[in-house]
Structure 1
Amino acid sequence: MVKYTKKITPDRNSIMGPKKKAARKRKPEVEEKGSEVEEEIGGEEPEEKGRKRKDKKRGENKYIGAHVSISGGIWKAVGDCLAMGGRSFALFLGSQRSWQRPPLNSTAAEKFRKACGENGFDPVHILPHGSYLMNCGSPKQDVFEKSQALLVDELSRCSALGLCLFNLHPGASLGSITTEQCQEKIAQSINHALQQTPAVVTVLENMCGQGSTVGGQFSELRGIIDKVRDQSRVGVCLDTCHAFAAGYDLSAKGGVKSVLDEFDQVVGLSYLRAVHLNDSKGKLGCHLDRHEDIGHGQIGIPAFRDIVNEPRLDNIPLILETPGR
């Protein structure tokens, strides 16, 4: 999460997450990271009482959080989210370094479900992230088959944890098949996994357009969705850095609205299940996947302020993946 030096008094109606009742009776001497991020990208000047009530209602519909660690036990991710004042979070479900992983421990899964329930985390605000090893559009048969199997495993883990969303990078053609053929293979992998597992929605992350990756353009995401048989179980996570690097100008005045309008026209806002909040080291259209802390990159604070004040992004997880310092 981003650390800012400006000292603020956290808004008691903060959109950054549950606080204990006792904390409401006094102003804390030390600000939480979540509150500092919120002030920087979403804080507004105090106004008349009527406006405050309106801001409170809007803020209550925003679910901001971050990608958290599962080190020491997957259930500890919940505590890490609470410690930073988050209302949503992302996490990996296993090692990112191996195709083969030990089965999910049933006790650990029960502890995770219990921690989520006790702390009021709805599964729609938790976004597991897929292994970077997966390439569900790979033209290499061995990689394609391993990716298919890993996707089934990831969705099975989601089910065991009581989760309903799973985020993945769509895939890459490696330059040896067409984009259309790659889309077909990605959809084939999703269709196969959905047949093997119940309920979980596969959430495709938009890409930056680097190399042979598929999903940098909204039309490519739509192309995959069109080939998924059960479209109630497929969605999109909009990564701000990736979108900017792919040429969607979030930094322009009114850019957030324009990009969401285009997304709605091409894909459909009904498919938007989450947002990754990342600034970009690279310039507009650079096609480089280089995340930067919010406010330190090329997208800039105004765009993120527009994001957290955009009603069309209510009630979905808004996840910070930035490096954090």
Structure 2
Amino acid sequence: INFGSHTEATVERSVESLRHSLRRAREIGALGVVVHTGSATGGRPRAEALAQVREHMRPLLDELTHDDSPDLLLESTAGQGFSLCSRTWDFGPYFEALDSHPKLGICLDTCHIYAAGHDLTGPTGMRQTLDLLVETVGAGRLKLIHANDSKDVVGAHKDRHE
């Protein structure tokens, strides 16, 4: 899934895949669906890719009208390539592009955020990262933590687990 792709077929498949996942999640009583935030491909500017995210993802959020509709949980990437969202503050423009929709939340992957450059190893590393997240998107948006390790050093931009 990549809503920031320059390839129309990829975007169309992304829309249908996410729509299907959200529908199935509701049917099984899931609380959320996790989706990676994607990347700007084809040499396009980040702002153009985010506008495309808005165009294609916002309508899917608007379809989540039932009380038991799942949240859409954005998961950042390790920062490889032209990722739209890897550092904590990258969630800000992403949330803005989607009007901070009430069904929008965050899945924080500890390997990804560490690989992107947030040092979680010190005594205050996680607290600082979480405080920055709240400052960026507001309280109550963190819905899930994918806690795992990393084979690489902080800021390596590689998604590699033990």
Q: TM-score, normalised by structure 2?
A: 0.90
2:106 alignment counterpart: 236
1:88-129 alpha-carbon deviations (Å, 9 max, x no partner): xxxxxxxxxxxxxxxxxxxxxxxxxxxxxxxxxxxxxxxxxx
- 2:2 corresponds in structure 1 to 135
Amino acid of the structure 1 residue aligned with 2:21: E
Structure 1 unpaired stretches of 5+: 1-133, 293-325
Deviation per residue, 1:302-324 (Å, 9 max, x gap): xxxxxxxxxxxxxxxxxxxxxxx
Query: Deviation of residue 255 (structure 1)?
Result: 1.0
Q: Which residue of 2 aligns with 1:224?
A: 94
Contact 1:184/1:224 (8 A) holds in 2:
no
Q: How has the CA–CA distance of structure 1 residues 141 and 272 changed in structure 2, closer, same or farther, with 3 Å as cutoff?
A: same
Q: What secondary structure sits across from 2:57 in the alignment?
A: helix
**Which residue matches 2:122?**
252
1:276 to 146, 151, 156: 146
Aligned twin of 1:287: 157
How many Å apart are 1:202 and its aligned residue?
0.7
1:190 equivalent to 2:60? Answer: no
Larger radius of gyration: 1
1:165 paired residue number: 32
Letter in 1 for 2:148: N
In 2, are the aligned partners of 1:171 and 1:182 still within 8 Å (CA)? no
Provide the rounded CA distance (Å) in 1 between the counterparts of 2:31 and 2:56: 18
Tell me, in whole angstroms, the C-alpha distance in 1 between the residues paired with 2:100 and 2:118.
28
Task: Give the superposed CA RMSD.
Answer: 1.6
Alignment of 1:26-45 (within 5 A): none
Confirm or deny that 1:179 pairs with 2:49. no
Q: CA separation in 2, counterparts of 1:151 and 1:262?
A: 28
CA distance in 2, matches of 1:229, 1:263: 17
SS state of the match for residue 193, structure 1? helix
Structural mapping, 1:70-89, within 5 Å: none
User: How far apart are residue 249 of structure 1 and its match?
Assistant: 0.6
Distance in 2 of aligned mates of 1:255 and 1:203: 23
The superposition leaves residues 123-176 of structure 1 with CA deviations (integer Å, 9 ceiling, x where unpaired) of: xxxxxxxxxxx1111111111111111111111111111223110001111242
2:4–2:41 contact (8 Å) kept in structure 1: no
1:197: how far off? Answer: 4.3
Give the 3-state SS of the residue equivalent to 2:107 in structure 1: strand
Instruction: Report the Cα distance in structure 1 between the residues aligned to 2:36 and 2:87, rounded to whole angstroms.
Output: 13
Corresponding letter in the other structure for 1:180:
A
**2:72 is equivalent to residue 202 of structure 1:** yes
Provide the residue aligned with 1:147 in structure 2.
14
Aligned residues: 159
Per-residue deviation, 1:194: 2.3
Letter in 1 for 2:127: K
**1:186 CA drift (Å):** 2.1
- Greater length-normalized contact order (CA 8 Å, ≥ 6 residues apart): 2
Supply the distance in 2 between the matched residues of 1:248 and 1:230 (Cα, whole angstroms): 23
- 1:189–1:215: structure 2 CA closer, same or farther, 3 Å change rule? same
**Percent identity over the alignment?**
30
